[in-house]
Amino acid sequence: MDTTYQVRGMTCGHCVTAVSTELSALPGVTDVQVDLATGRVTVTSQETLDADAVRAAVDEAGYDLAGA
């Protein structure tokens, strides 16, 4: 299952790595693709992810999840 999120505040490769690392650590996540130019993050998971868990992971990376 692919879910796309909008993440605010990413400006560089380090940002991409930080967000990818935190989201990849969530249970059931099998892949994370980050488009730095648009701020879109597509997470592939085995089942629907808890929105609060996704928000917490993005917050932990130091960024803001928009609209979820």
Q: pLDDT by residue (tens digit) across 6-21? A: 999 999 999 999 999 9
**2-66, CATH topology level:** Alpha-Beta Plaits (3.30.70)
Does residue 37 register a pLDDT over 70?
A: yes
Instruction: Please answer whether residues 32 and 43 qualify as being in contact, where contact means their C-beta atoms are separated by less than 8 angstroms.
Output: yes
Tokens of residue 36, six digits: 């730095």
pLDDT for the residue 68? 54
At how many degrees (to 10) do helices 51-61 and 13-24 cross?
140
Write the CB contacts of 46 (distance below 8 Å, at least 6 apart in sequence): 1, 28, 30
